[in-house]
Structure 1
């Protein structure tokens, strides 16, 4: 894995989107940008909702990306525009103490501010020199689809900030970690998968991403097979609800109760992966521990407090988040069971890809099992996703599962290349009627993807 900074290229002549972005920037600000940053979205092949518990995941970058054209200004202002008129322009002071990110109702520009803040605060960049930035954003990752459009926007925004005003060289892993940390400004308690693959991806390669420290290992995908992304047409902004963060908290509470039951100082643990490491147990042994110490019935907040022998204000500080403080019930057995079994599936998936030839049937079975777990145990699927993944299997997919946070968004399916035409025809005909698409091109909701390159810069 390279630890070099993201590469800087000349503007690619074959990408009309880049030229269009430069044109919009010139029209808005009167001259060309200095640089354009690019950060891809991603599809997670397997390993859902486990990165924030300290476990490895297996994503690949996709060709769809977010680009940010930028230059500095001497107005002490951040002036943000979007090529899509649906997203209104935004302007604010570049002084850190004047920036406001609304966690309760996040807008597109708040994700840009997250990336900006991550770089500026990390390196204490002096902004008292009347320095600001003019930025124009172009998003080509379908929004609210589970393809990491928001993290790609944070990453591209951090990268352009780094290029324009940061004082030192940063590696790809440095930038990934900064972006993982700074996205929490908007209230999303993710684990780092999206930002890591966005920076560390390589064209033609999927990656096994591990954490603490962030590191990436190449994954060999099966020859003669393709991955197809399909959108169930139900969208959800995970940062605008408490469902995503509720799952994080439920996993954390499960971890802390298991730690206490194991005779450890429970306040020292927040991630199931750290607990497993401390106990020196296998994933199979951790699953047994869950069955021994957690019950399947819903836990009340009072029961959690009694089990941990702590008061409500202490639980708020050690375990909960602002948008989960009101919760009164938690499913701990189910969430911990998903994390450990999904982590096992990631390891098995990686083992299968190391065999020659790669057994695509086994990969598909693991993907199906993953979807069943996210649907039934983690409860983050959506009726439309369940219908879509079943249709994909009936259309010839070896495996099909939700990808991303869930509660809507996209499925990823593994298909034999020889089945491509019949698969696409059946799924498009039976799921994507014109009425459902509501004017959206079919190519935006059903498409073949292959591993794309990671984040980079274009010099204008």
Structure 2
């Protein structure tokens, strides 16, 4: 596995998509791109919605990706455009990056990647960039188009500042980036986007992040079908509700087992703390929880906290004002 994100030499004349993007970039900005950045989407084979619990997943990257053409200047202005006219142009001062969680537009995902890498590298200032984005991942389809855009933006920011960090650190950084827009994911999408290799799935494990090749059966064919149903995970609370429910379950389980529960966030970490096998952990879950939904009042009683403490210390911003049932 390469240590740093690879810089790949491409036969430009044989790549119609790159040629078309370059022509569009020149038409848009009246200059040629300095470099290109690319991040693939992904599909998960095993382990749905358990990465944010600290458990391993088995994804693989797909051919569909986010591709960006970029030039760098001294304007300290970030100019973004998209080949899809559905997504409007955007411009912002590099010194005044703000991300509107209430309005999750495409350019805010890009700014998540910029801001995350800026914070990770402690960059006091950013150069100006002009960027034209072209995406082939169906939007909001469950193939990580938004995460791929964040990862691509992270690569763009790293390269435009002439910095280099490991793919592992870049994946961990971009996983945290989506917190800026309110999504509390677990890191699978960003990890496979950076760590994927052709011809293999990856077992992605966390704490610490690591990836292991998983050879797929000879002749195996995976059909990825688009249901044409869109779900923007930052535009609703559906995704974060699942994350918060698992977080609350972790804390209740920890409290019933006599542990200091306030700092525990993930079931996988709790399992390690308890020293239990997965089967034993499942037995504990069956014994502690009832199948009926839990109200906020019941959760607060179990944890011996106030509703205000539940909202401020455990729930995410977009799950604080939902109904009374949480789990």
| TM-score exceeds 0.5 | yes
- How do 1:417-456 and structure 2 match up within 5 A? none
Deviations 1:51-80 (A, max 9, x none): 011000000000011011111122221110
**Alpha-carbon distance in 2 for matches of 1:321, 1:330:** 12
**Aligned with 2:143 (options 127, 144, 147):** 147
Query: 1:16 and 1:51 mapped to 2: Cα distance?
Result: 36
C-alpha contact (below 8 Å) 1:11/1:18 kept by paired residues: no
Which of residues 172, 182, 189 in structure 2 aligns to 1:194?
189
Could you say what secondary structure the match of 1:208 adopts? strand
* Residue number in structure 2 paired with 1:364: none
- Distance in 2 (alpha carbons) for counterparts of 1:12 and 1:111: 28
RMSD: 1.3
Structure 1: how far apart are the matches of 2:65 and 2:76?
29
Q: Please state whether the residue corresponding to 2:223 is helix, strand or coil.
A: strand
Q: Please give the residue correspondences for 1:68-107 in structure 2 after superposition, counting only pairs within 5 Å.
A: 68-95=68-95, 98-107=96-105
Name the counterpart of 2:274.
279
Deviation at 1:11, TM superposition (A): 5.0
- SS in structure 2 at match of 1:38: strand
Pair 1:47 & 2:42 matched: no
CA-CA distance at 1:174 after TM superposition: 1.1
Count of equivalent residues:
326
Indicate if the aligned counterparts of 1:46 and 1:58 stay in contact, CA closer than 8 A: yes
Check the 8 A contact 1:45/1:59 in 2, yes or no: yes
Deviations 1:151-209 (A, max 9, x none): 0000011101100115x321111110110011111111000000000000001111000
Greater helix proportion:
1
Matched, 1:121 2:116: no
Q: What does 1:228-239 correspond to in 2, within 5 Å? A: 228-239=223-234
In 2 relative to 1, CA 245–126 (structure 1 residues): closer, same or farther, beyond 3 Å? same
Q: State whether residues 260 and 266 of structure 1, in contact with CA within 8 Å, keep that contact through their aligned partners in structure 2.
A: yes
Q: Unpaired segments of 5 or more residues in structure 2?
A: none
Using structure 2 for the length normalisation, give the TM-score.
Answer: 0.97
Identify unmatched segments of 5+ residues in structure 1. 332-460
Counterpart contact for 2:5–2:194, Cα < 8 Å: no
Aligned position for 1:63: 63
TM-score by length of 1: 0.69
Equivalent residue, structure 1, for 2:241: 246
> For 2:312 and 2:50, how far apart are their aligned partners in 1?
22
Cα distance in 2, alignment partners of residues 11 and 159 from structure 1: 21
Structure 2 counterpart of 1:182, from 177, 186, 208: 177
